[in-house]
């Protein structure tokens, strides 16, 4: 089923339900089995070494039938040719970045990207003679200006997951292609349901599948999608040699999460848009950072790049010190206090952000609250939020 030409690609819901699966291989089982094994054996030495059939497997660090189904679904959802699962979002991100740099190379990256990604680029890669220039990134000219003759990689996160800055994907892909630069984007926030960067010309899409793809806060996982050519080199090098694979059981849980991805994303969107709009009008709230609202600073990009918006937003209170932020979050009853997001549960966490990220002249950090709306109704979380805002 995964060999259909692109024009015959089914809808995303059908991909989630059926793509990459062949029940005749698994005794008719509706759910593919978990191939929880490290190796595969062969009847003869010749079968193992010379006459490998398309249906033969070797070793789970290289390939695994359960993981393969999950990868086929994600590649199809992202409109790419090939996907590879990793043991975490960071394993996927670091492997993809490493596949595109060598000593002496230069990277341009969006400064508001995920913290450990920034640390990997800024500090860790420096040990290997790779340098990074960070840009605010909302205007394509900043990338053009930061580009050096030895730049090999543009690293994007759009929308970025703290302040939701967006980058112009088609424009950056155009600049990059002109200069032989590879583009990578972290698409965890929108998920493939709401944004497909490959359609805009981006080379590699990475996800923390710990978030929406898994969706149930029970796995840590990552995935990378791209063209067959680019992915083959990356899989053979960083995939096989660094070996940060996803365990078959976690692949199976991700596959199970993906079956409900479209309806989960729809529900996250519906609840979050409603609550974000109510918060935007609330007298105790200074502003909300979340694409698509009336205060969206980049409505053109939202319209061009996003088909929808997910469940994570950042709230800035009028009374914006650390104490009121802590008081507000500590008073919430239905929101867990925790750092992740993308699961069924609602979460809240006070975080201080550099003023510059919020287009403020202040050099002091600004306290905000990062909130994820899970799969609850609007009513219960909203009543909870309204009650908690009374103590601010």
* C-alpha separations of 131 from 97, 105, 116, 243 in Å: 12, 7, 16, 25
Question: Rounded to the nearest whole angstrom, what is the least distance from the CB of residue 244 to ligand PLP in the complex?
Answer: 10
Q: Which stretch binds ligand PLP (CB under 6 A): 30-38, 205-213, 237-245, 350-358?
A: 205-213
Nearest residue (CB) to ligand PLP, 261 versus 388? 261
Question: Rounded to the nearest whole angstrom, what is the least distance from the CB of residue 11 to ligand PLP in the complex?
Answer: 26
Q: Beta strands 285-289 and 312-317: pairing type?
A: antiparallel
* C-alpha separations of 317 from 12, 26, 245, 282, 383 in Å: 38, 54, 41, 10, 17
Position 90 contacts ligand PLP (CB under 6 A) = yes
Q: Which of residues 160-199 bind ligand PLP (CB under 6 A)?
A: 161, 186, 188
The DSSP result for 24-79, as a single string, is GGGTT-SS------SB---SSHHHHHT---TT---BTTT--HHHHHHHHHHHHHTT
Question: Rounded to the nearest whole angstrom, what is the least distance from the CB of residue 218 to ligand PLP in the complex?
Answer: 13
Question: Rounded to the nearest whole angstrom, what is the least distance from the CB of residue 115 to ligand PLP in the complex?
Answer: 9
Separation of alpha carbons 87 and 209, rounded Å: 9
Contact 246, 67 (CB under 8 A): yes
Position 95 contacts ligand PLP (CB under 6 A) = no
- The rounded Cα 72 to chain-centroid distance in angstroms is 17
SS3 category, 109: strand
Position 343 contacts ligand PLP (CB under 6 A) = no
Question: Rounded to the nearest whole angstrom, what is the least distance from the CB of residue 161 to ligand PLP in the complex?
Answer: 4
Contact 69, 259 (CB under 8 A): no
Which position among 12, 60, 88, 217 is part of the footprint of ligand PLP (CB under 6 A)? 88
The DSSP result for 268-311, as a single string, is HHHHHHHHHHHHHT-TTEEEEE-TTSTT-S-HHHHHHH-S---S
Residues in the interface with ligand PLP (CB under 6 A) total: 12
Question: Rounded to the nearest whole angstrom, what is the least distance from the CB of residue 44 to ligand PLP in the complex?
Answer: 41
Separation of alpha carbons 26 and 42, rounded Å: 18
Nearest residue (CB) to ligand PLP, 216 versus 284? 216
Which position among 67, 151, 210, 298 is part of the footprint of ligand PLP (CB under 6 A)? 210
Q: Which stretch binds ligand PLP (CB under 6 A): 14-22, 30-38, 126-134, 206-214?
A: 206-214
* DSSP element (H, E) containing 337: strand 336-337
Q: Which stretch binds ligand PLP (CB under 6 A): 70-78, 133-141, 208-216, 260-268?
A: 208-216
Q: Which stretch binds ligand PLP (CB under 6 A): 83-91, 121-129, 281-289, 370-378?
A: 83-91
Separation of alpha carbons 105 and 284, rounded Å: 48
Position 114 contacts ligand PLP (CB under 6 A) = yes
Nearest residue (CB) to ligand PLP, 78 versus 384? 78
The residues binding ligand PLP (CB under 6 A) are 88-90, 114, 161, 186, 188, 208, 210-211, 220, 222
């Amino acid at each position: 089923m995964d060999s259909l030409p692109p024009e015959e690609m089914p809808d995303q819901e059908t991909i989630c339900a059926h793509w990459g699966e062949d029940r005749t291989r698994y005794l008719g089982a509706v759910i593919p089995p978990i191939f929880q094994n490290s190796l595969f054996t062969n009847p003869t030495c010749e079968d193992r070494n010379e006459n490998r059939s398309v249906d033969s497997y070797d070793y789970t660090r290289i390939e695994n039938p359960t993981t393969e189904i999950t990868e086929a679904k994600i590649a199809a959802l992202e409109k790419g040719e090939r996907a590879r699962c990793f043991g975490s979002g960071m394993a996927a991100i670091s492997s993809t970045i490493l596949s595109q740099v060598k000593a002496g190379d230069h990277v341009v990256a969006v400064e508001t990207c995920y913290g450990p990604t920034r640390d990997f680029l800024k500090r860790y890669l420096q040990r290997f003679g790779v340098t990074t220039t960070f840009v605010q990134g909302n205007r394509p000219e900043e990338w053009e200006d930061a580009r050096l003759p030895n730049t090999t990689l543009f690293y994007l996160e759009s929308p970025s997951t703290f302040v939701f800055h967006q980058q112009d994907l088609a424009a950056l892909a155009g600049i990059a292609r002109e200069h032989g630069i590879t583009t990578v984007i972290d698409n965890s926030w929108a998920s493939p349901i709401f944004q497909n960067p490959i359609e805009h010309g981006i080379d590699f899409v990475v996800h923390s599948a710990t978030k929406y793809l898994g969706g149930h806060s029970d796995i840590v996982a990552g995935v990378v999608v791209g063209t067959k050519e680019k992915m083959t080199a990356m899989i053979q090098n960083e995939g096989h040699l660094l070996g940060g694979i996803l365990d078959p059981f976690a692949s199976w849980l991700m596959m199970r999460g993906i079956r409900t991805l479209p309806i989960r994303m729809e529900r996250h969107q519906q609840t979050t848009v409603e609550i974000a709009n109510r918060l935007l009008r609330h007298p105790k709230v200074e502003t909300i950072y979340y694409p698509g609202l009336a205060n969206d600073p980049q409505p053109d990009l939202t319209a061009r790049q996003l088909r929808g918006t997910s469940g994570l937003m950042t709230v800035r209170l009028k009374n914006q010190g650390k104490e009121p932020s802590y008081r507000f979050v500590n008073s919430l009853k239905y929101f867990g206090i925790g750092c992740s997001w993308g699961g069924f549960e609602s979460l809240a966490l006070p975080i201080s952000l550099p003023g510059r990220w919020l287009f403020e002249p202040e050099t002091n950090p600004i306290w905000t609250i990062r909130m994820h709306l899970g799969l609850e109704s609007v009513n219960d979380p909203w009543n909870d939020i309204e009650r908690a805002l009374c103590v601010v």
